[in-house]
Amino acid sequence: MSLAVALGEGGGPPPAASRPTRTRGHRPLLLPGLAYLALFFVAPVAVLLATSLYVPVPGGDVGQYQPALHGQNYVDALAKFWPQLVRSFGFALMATLAALAIGYPMAYAIAVRARGRRLLQGLLLVLVVAPFFTSFILRTIAWKQILADDSFVVAALHWLHLLPPGGRLTATPFAVVCGLTYNFLPFMVLPIYASLERLDPRMLEAGADLYASPFTTFRTVTLPLSMPGVVGGTLLTFIPASGDYVNSSLLGNNTNTSMIGQVIDARFFKVLDYPTAAALSVVLMVAILVLVGSYVRRSGTEELL
């Protein structure tokens, strides 16, 4: 929750420039955090970058590589796995949009409709977070059951003729996007909730007073004021969803649903093709940074970065 709240903070005024600089004495307190970051983020990324340029040891065994500056690794990896990369972003985008469509009304109901009823709000928030009490893998396996060929969902869809005879849900892109949407929905709901919670109901009255119908008030007042939450939520959904490999391997698991995370996983642990795996990881990281950067810039909520 604290993460959601922190991310939702984008709408606030920028920090005062004249903040007193009393930080000198507190600097040692930063050391554990800095050490942690250096050890578990900076160092691994450096190793990853180096690995992505390695070449196989001539005449060596499988999985034996030696340091080099072989940039061709990137070209080869992209040439081979660009469909999975594109698909990852496509699935992540679809899941993000679906989560937004489902999550915004949820957040609105909790923050605005249930305003003033603390007990109800608390209960609804617990329900949003409750899935986290069980493991990510278990929940995804449960979805596998729900979407299985002999499940009541599929039976009902057949009965309604929404699914053609012989049609199935598991092992389809639909199932993967469903899983991604479900798994990252709370990350969408919480930041939007935090934004809407702070929305002053008098703003809505001012909108109504100035001839805006309820829908227009939503479009011109509520939505813009909750944009920090929407941007935060979409980032928290899109970024992990595009790198996810659990949903695609458990709910998809055939050639037309595999995502880049799955490829990286396979390259690292099955094929032992470390340079390709590392190169794809770097590409994924850079691509996300570029996408997110331009998105945040366009949405006018730079404070989030």
Q: Which of 2, 13, 24, 133 binds another protein (CB under 8 A)?
A: 13
Q: Is 83 in the site for another protein (CB under 8 A)?
A: no
| Whether 87 contacts 258, CB under 8 Å | yes
Q: Provide the minimum distance between the beta carbon of 118 and another protein in the complex, in angstroms, as a whole number.
A: 19
Q: Is 105 in the site for another protein (CB under 8 A)?
A: no
Q: Provide the minimum distance between the beta carbon of 20 and another protein in the complex, in angstroms, as a whole number.
A: 22
Q: Which of 50, 55, 68, 212 binds another protein (CB under 8 A)?
A: 212
Token pair 């608390």 is at which residue? Answer: 122
Cβ count near 43 (within 10 Å):
11
Backbone dihedral region for residue 272 (phi beyond 0: left; psi -120 to 50: alpha; all else: beta): left
In 109-213, alpha helices (H): 118-129, 136-146, 152-159, 173-197, 201-209
Q: Which of 34, 63, 132, 209 binds another protein (CB under 8 A)?
A: 209
Q: Provide the minimum distance between the beta carbon of 296 and another protein in the complex, in angstroms, as a whole number.
A: 16
Q: Terminal CA-to-CA distance of the chain, rounded, Å?
A: 19
Backbone dihedral region for residue 304 (phi beyond 0: left; psi -120 to 50: alpha; all else: beta): alpha
Nearest CB to another protein, comparing residues 149 and 205: 205
| Whether 187 contacts 240, CB under 8 Å | yes
The count of residues interacting with another protein (CB under 8 A) is 22
Give, as ranges, the residues between 216 and 255 that touch another protein (CB under 8 A): 216-217, 220-221, 224-225, 227
Cβ count near 81 (within 10 Å):
21
- Per CB under 8 A, which region of 27-35, 122-130, 150-158, 202-210 contacts another protein? 202-210
Q: Is 271 in the site for another protein (CB under 8 A)?
A: no
Q: Is 211 in the site for another protein (CB under 8 A)?
A: yes
**Residue 128 tokens, joined:** 């949003």
Nearest CB to another protein, comparing residues 80 and 117: 117
Q: Is 117 in the site for another protein (CB under 8 A)?
A: no
CA angle 116, 120, 121 (to 5 degrees): 70
Q: Where do contacts with another protein occur on this chain (CB under 8 A)?
A: 11, 13, 200, 202-203, 205-214, 216-217, 220-221, 224-225, 227
